Structure formats: structure tokens, C-alpha cells
Structure 1
Amino acid sequence: MQNIPQMHASFMKDSQMFAQYMGDTRIPMVDARDIAKAALAGLTSDAFNGKIHYITGPQSISFDDVAKAFSKPLGKDIIYVNLTYEDQKAGLEAYGTPDMIVQTVMSLFKRWSEGEDQPTTSDYEKITGERATDINTFAAEVAGSF
């Protein structure tokens, strides 16, 4: 989730929109703070040894969901604009993003946008005993820093 303000905060604030190549794909975005909590629990308990855990957010969300989540705390209607693959790639390159990162990011975006919606897991909740942060809570917590 931290990629959202990193990549889109200025557009949301100044233009009431943000653009991304993802269509209506739904992915289980996760708050980096939740990853850290799960890692701490895994490092301080033997209960999780020898097991693979997939840490996800509590639900798979689209970028339209992201726009709606940020609209409320920002006090304005935020619109998500779906970019084409070519426009997203050109934008990253124009920004000066190193080629290796452009290739990696675009490969991931393409796989997500052309594949099925990505499922969630309950692994975070099993490990920490807490519910993972949802996009509405995240948006409310970080929008004030825009």
C-alpha cells in the first residue's frame, strides 16, 4: 500500500486523479507495517518455523477501490485512470526510472493485469492475531500527509 502515496499522492492532491496500468484487476495490497508485524512474530516464535506464509491485505482491491478509499479523507472525488501498457512504460522511462526497474515493474503489472484476480490469505491474522490493514484504514491514516 505504501507504493500508492509514493507514486500517486501529488496527482491525487493536485489533480484529483491518478493513473496506472492495471485495468480493473484486483490484488491483495498489503500494508508494509503488517509485513513488519508478521516478520517480528515469525522471528520471535518457533510456531511458524518450517512453514511458508503469504502475507496479504484483507481483501483483493482494484485501483477504483483505491480511488474511492482516498476520496473520503482527501475530501474530493479521486478518479483512477487506467493507462495502457505502453503509456505506463513510457511514463516510467520519462521519469528516469532505471531500465531494470522498468522491466521488472512492467512485467509484474502485465502479469497482474492479464491474469486472474489475486487471492487473499488469512496468514497475517494467524500469525499476529490481528486483522490486516484494509485500504480505507490505510487511506485515512496517510492522506493527511499529502
Structure 2
Amino acid sequence: MAQMPQPTAAQACPCGRQAGKRPLAYAQCCGRYLDHFDATPAPDAESLMRSRYAAFVAERADYLLATWHASHRPASIDFDPGTKWLGLEVRSHRRLDATHAEVEFVARQKSPGSPAVRLHERSRFVREEGRWYYVDGDIQ
């Protein structure tokens, strides 16, 4: 199974966000954050979490590392060959105060030769100098 390449601007965003009943195009959704990180930070923790999911789909280690808070950021990210991301469901999101938020989500993936798995996490985010960063999360 080959990894999904980065979506084109007009394709539906892998994060699954919709406007009404229509999926948002990658360029209007997570693409603007991934492709223009310096100029266009995600405006809230949910948008950052969705864009990080899209970055996993597209294997964009640069974006994942740049949006990971320095206190928990790994030195590098390795992707498992052939992993296919199957979908994202945001269960809840809440802003705790001006600089802290949590997002609960379920992401589904399938690796070659293995059954599909679900990652259910409550993630913590912090806002510093106008940007949201992923800090860490608890697997549910």
C-alpha cells in the first residue's frame, strides 16, 4: 500500500473538515497552514490538530516538527512505509484559557499486513507568540 501523496489544492482535505455537507478543499483547509507555515499559523488548537493529521497523511515531517512544542519535540520523525491513513474524527475541542487547549480525536490507520488500528487521544496544546503548538497527549 503506497502512502497518499500530498493532496492537490482542489482535492478534499484529508482531515475531513466540511463546510455544510461538502468537504473543504485542501487549499482552503489544512493546506494553507502546511504550505505557508511561516505566514499562516493555525488559528486554534483544533485547526492545528487537523493540519497535523494532514501532515501525517502527506508525510510532512517538517511541519510536524515545527508545530511540536520544543519541550516534547522529538529529534526526528520516521514514517512507517505503506501506512495508509483512513480518517479523522474530532470528538471534542475546548480552549482552557488564552494559551491552553485540548482536542480529543480518533485517527484510523492501516499498515501493510496488519489490521486497521484506531488512535484515540486527548491532546494538549499551548499558544506561544501567536502560534499554537502540540505538546503531548494521553492515549484513551
Give me the TM-score of the superposition, normalised by structure 1.
0.28
Give me the TM-score of the superposition, normalised by structure 2.
0.29
